[in-house]
Amino acid sequence: MDCHTEEEVHGDGNTYPSMQESGVFKVSCSNAGCHQNVLEKPGKGDAASEKVSQQAKKFHKKHLDTVDCSACHVESVLACDTMSCQDCHMPKTTAKVSNRPMWLGTKEGFAKHHLVGANTVMLTLLRDNAAALDVNSSNLDLGINRARDMLQSAATVEIVSASVNNGQLEARVRVENNSGHKAPTSYPSRRMWLHFKVTDSNNNVVFESGPIADDGSIAGVDDAVDQTAFEPHYNVINSAGQVQVYEAIMGDSDGIITYTLLRGAQYLKDNRLTPKGFDKLNVSSDVEVHGLAVDDTDFNLGSDEVTYQYQIDVNKFPGDLNVSVSLNYQTIAHGFLQDLYRDVQLEQVQTFKAMYDAQSLKHEEIANAQTTVVSDGGGTPPPAVEPPAVAQPTVNLTASPSSVARGGSVTLSWSSADASSCMAFDNWSGLKATSGSQTITLNGPATFTLSCSGDSGSASDTVSYQARGRRWLNLR
């Protein structure tokens, strides 16, 4: 080893609770003659800073494939600076490992093999459909409670300030990640979001961002009405159609949203809460932040701050205002479900859909906060404005010829109005332009459905070919 001694690499032979405990590593990254000044922040524009920057790049390149980024860049989230994955997911116990021999004492640091996750939704589905799914576990409720406890320790939310000045409500909300990884983590169907709500003394809703519907969709979030769109990251929210959603959105090689891991080639958005010590400006491209959160200065180092602004109608809502916010978690985002349901003809998908739709639990609340503010009675009530009429989307799908032999080709043609995107279903699939045509070979009866979405909803049209004898197919 040219750079480090055996003890520096393999340790001193002692057991430590965590690799981050003081004394585990005997080497300093900034030893003279080795990584000197590599921890200084470059970017001042002078020659000395540029030299440090080049040196940092040199040693990053040297260790990038062999040392995890967290070894240098991520601080522990525990005050004692000793943290590992097991600390959260496998809690310690003082129970005896064995009761033989009788004088055996307790073992320090022994971990319970709970392997706790955060998926209460699927555990509930397994519990409620145990007979149909051949599940014979008797302690699923225990697993659900442990997972819920894990979730509720993962993050916190607070209302930093809330006031009404000259009729305008302004509230600053801060979210903090307490876990040692991005939150939410793992499979990209998971998301967290803020549900912000303002009510008057009679519990009338004054303003609301992020309420969830019974089907698991979130009002105002783009994927609730359009699978080809996603909700951007916000620094300021001032309308009910804006919701702060922490999530990872995958894109394929063409930059189009995909819900299939094998097609994921890039992130179109990744504003999941980073762990404490994670500096978005100094991490590798594998774990970097994507989307508008990159330019949000208070989204970094394990926390985010969102400002809500809304002009209060002081004549309609005088007096005290109740402000509440909750940080919520969802195992399966609405867009992922709709993508799965495109294959609803499959028995497995039908079974899952029936079980999921029948289940009331579709999200978990991680944390919440409330406060009360007094309206100052100032400002000018917003004038009553009739919302502009928005035309409903329309779509027209045709097929020709009206009769074709098996193995022959047919042409599908379509047009739409007041639509921004179209999606094909049944015997064809994928994102389509709002107008166009496509030639398809028919080997048997087939149905083609096209659904087009716009700002005010969606519309669909369907054509089908049915068998006429053993050879011919007729347009129905």
pLDDT value for 458 = 83
Instruction: Say how far apart CA 74 and CA 23 lie, in whole Å.
Output: 17
pLDDT value for 37 = 44
| Cβ-based neighbour number of residue 411 at 10 Å | 12
Instruction: Say how far apart CA 230 and CA 329 lie, in whole Å.
Output: 17
Tokens 């522990």 found at? 76
- Rounded mean pLDDT, 196-211: 95
Domain range list for the chain: 6-71, 116-149, 154-374, 394-475
Same fold, 154-374 and 394-475: yes
List pLDDT tens digits, range 228-268. 889 999 999 999 999 999 999 999 999 999 999 999 999 99
Instruction: Say how far apart CA 347 and CA 339 lie, in whole Å.
Output: 16
pLDDT value for 109 = 66
Half-sphere exposure of 250 (CA within 13 A, CB side): 18
Q: DSSP alpha helices (H): ranges in 115-263?
A: 120-128, 130-133, 140-152
Structure tokens at 422: 């179209």
| CATH 2.40.128, domain 394-475, yes or no | no
- Rounded mean pLDDT, 352-369: 96
Q: Name the pairing type of β-strands 303-311 and 236-237.
A: parallel
pLDDT value for 428 = 86
In terms of phi and psi (left: phi > 0; alpha: psi -120 to 50; beta: otherwise), the region of 136 is alpha
pLDDT value for 7 = 65
Q: How many residues does the chain have?
A: 476
pLDDT value for 465 = 86
Fold of the domain built from segment(s) 154-374: Immunoglobulin-like (2.60.40)
Q: pTM above the 0.85 mark?
A: no
Percentage, residues of the chain above pLDDT 90 = 49
Which of the four pLDDT bands, split at 50, 70 and 90, describes residue 138? Answer: confident
Mean pLDDT check: name the lowest of 99-103, 162-166, 269-273.
99-103
The pLDDT mean for the chain works out to 82
Rg (CA), the chain: 28
- Rounded mean pLDDT, 357-364: 95
List pLDDT tens digits, range 59-87. 555 565 555 555 554 444 443 344 567 66
